[in-house]
Structure 1
Amino acid sequence: MNYQTFQPHPDLAALISCYWTLEVPATDQPEKQRIVPDGKIEMAFVLGDDIKRYTSEQAYILQPRAFVLGQTLEPFYVEPTGQVTSFSVSFYPYGFSNFATTPIKSLANKETPIAHIFGDTIAHNLEHQIITAKDTQERIGIVEKFLMERLHQSDTVDAIVTNTVAALMATNGNTSISNILKKEPSKRRQLERKFAAQVGISPKQLGKVIRLQSALKMLLNQEGENLTHIAYESNYYDQAHFIKDFKEFTGISPKEFLGHKNMELSAAFYK
């Protein structure tokens, strides 16, 4: 498996976390991979063979060739049908709302074809350019030109949402909305509405995802001597609370996560 990340142009760095590519050779016995929430919105292009996205234990759909994956709050499985070659744009939680008029909440927990967001003609042209590009750097140039042309004025990212996301990320999800708004408590309802519009989930839900990210990284990098230590360092109330949240977002326990074959892809993202 070859997973690489690339940094965005400085003019887009406040909205885009990174670009990433994934290449996995075809095998006779492909493994299902469990994808866990990470708080980001992805715009992905499938350049290789089709990829299955399981909707139940046995049923699946084929992912669109070009799609946006909105906020996810539960794990799901994907499985390649052959060779995997993909290119993706990873947006910060509030980032994608600057490029699309589609309500961000409507994108949650599913893959939405980019044609449904940008229109058939624009989406077809973008997809064709990405597919026919000679390498990753050319793809980055194409998608950045597309996004820069759609970018609104920078002040369209509402400060109250941006500041909340920044505070959650700076504290690994370990700050309360009451603390963030301690000088302006009357704005809590306004924040909830704007979060739903620009991020797609609530501040509390995003905080839980970000905190789990921190714990996952510790678990994968073996920074914690045991689960109790990781729970303490990640500001969970206790080990039981940590395990409960872990199972909610990944579907398995922390011990099952480590070394699990169908978690290799998610593990690569979190490392």
Structure 2
Amino acid sequence: MIHTLAPRGPLAGLIERVWLDDAFERPHRAERILPGGSLDLIANLTPGTDPAILAAGARAGPFTFHAGGTRTVLGVAFRPGGAAPFLGVPADEIRDAIVPLRELWGPEADALSGRLASAGSPGARLAEAERTLLGRLARSPRRHPGVAMAVEILGDGTGGPPVAAVARRVGLGPRRLSRAFQAEVGLPPKLYARIRRFGEVLRLAASASRVEWAAVAQACGYYDQAHLIRDFRAFAGMSPTEYLAMRGGLANPHHLPEPS
């Protein structure tokens, strides 16, 4: 069963949700995870396993998650750029990587792992994660306001202005925006916008009973269907047709059963 907590107060604008799946069973041993432009914290709380928390950086391509034997997982899904106040390092330092949180937080990460593992209920685990994040936020520098504005302007990547125009609107030069954006979001602005647009493609494909890729390409602002296919291959490692054939019954369009 999946339990969720909608962050409150100052966490609401930074974290999309904190979740716990205590029946994390899959008919397949591995999943391909497609990029979405944001970061996550993941803790495997399955009894008998190391409860170390992992920080999954923003990615520009797919990666494979080996789920065999995993039963209980807690996650923190940050909004784009929302992880910056919590990491302790620039977000682009863990781009395309999954690192133990102890490498970023030191002993504080192991202490949180222990508290999550020993908490007596799903609600207690979610509340402990929220408390820890609130405490971390209170000791962290604030986000760059220009980056937060740029993320909002770029939106889902389907109709945002060019990066140079975004920089002008937020009052920064293009290079300065790019440096600040990468430090907080983990990706350059242009690449981030492409990945967000790719996510909108996945969302539209998941909601359609029959996918018309030319119509999806037009709705998402691609030059043509060939342009969509090039981006799809870059971010998913496969064609749109192959993606539909692999989708299976997973609810999240960014997750696919990995062929064994």
TM bin, normalised by shorter chain, reads: 0.7 to 0.9
Q: Using a 3 Å threshold, how does the CA distance of structure 1 residues 269 and 37 change in structure 2: closer, same or farther?
A: same
- The CA distance in 2 between the partners of 1:72 and 1:263, in whole Å, is 24
Structure 2 residue aligned with 1:89: 76
Asked if 2 retains the 8 angstrom alpha-carbon contact of 1:35 and 1:265, the reply is no
- The CA distance in 2 between the partners of 1:186 and 1:255, in whole Å, is 41
Structure 1 residue aligned with 2:35: 37
- The CA distance in 2 between the partners of 1:77 and 1:154, in whole Å, is 32
TM-score, normalised by the number of residues in structure 1: 0.83
Identity %: 26
CA offset digits 1:65-87 (Å, max 9, x no partner): 31100111110112222243211
Structure 2 residue aligned with 1:77: 64
Q: What displacement does 1:14 show?
A: 0.7
- The CA distance in 2 between the partners of 1:192 and 1:263, in whole Å, is 38
Structure 1 residue aligned with 2:133: 147
Q: What displacement does 1:143 show?
A: 1.3
- The CA distance in 2 between the partners of 1:256 and 1:119, in whole Å, is 42
RMSD across aligned positions (CA): 2.8
Asked if 2 retains the 8 angstrom alpha-carbon contact of 1:48 and 1:84, the reply is yes
Q: Is 1:231 matched up with 2:182? A: no
CA offset digits 1:184-242 (Å, max 9, x no partner): 67621110110121111100111011101111000011177510000000111100000
TM-score, normalised by the number of residues in structure 2: 0.87
Q: Using a 3 Å threshold, how does the CA distance of structure 1 residues 171 and 246 change in structure 2: closer, same or farther?
A: closer
Q: What displacement does 1:131 show?
A: 1.3
Q: Which amino acid aligns with 2:152?
A: A
- Runs of 5+ consecutive residues of structure 1 not aligned to the other structure: 52-62
- The CA distance in 2 between the partners of 1:167 and 1:108, in whole Å, is 22
- The CA distance in 2 between the partners of 1:83 and 1:183, in whole Å, is 46
- The CA distance in 2 between the partners of 1:97 and 1:187, in whole Å, is 21
- The CA distance in 2 between the partners of 1:162 and 1:110, in whole Å, is 23
Q: Is 1:99 matched up with 2:98? A: no
- Runs of 5+ consecutive residues of structure 2 not aligned to the other structure: none
Q: Is 1:24 matched up with 2:11? A: no
Aligned match for 2:244, one of 234, 252, 258: 258
CA offset digits 1:40-71 (Å, max 9, x no partner): 100110112799xxxxxxxxxxx983110011
1:48-67 correspondence runs (5 A): 48=46, 65-67=52-54
Structure 2 residue aligned with 1:14: 13
- The CA distance in 1 between the partners of 2:196 and 2:43, in whole Å, is 25
- When the two structures are aligned, how many residues end up with a matched partner? 255
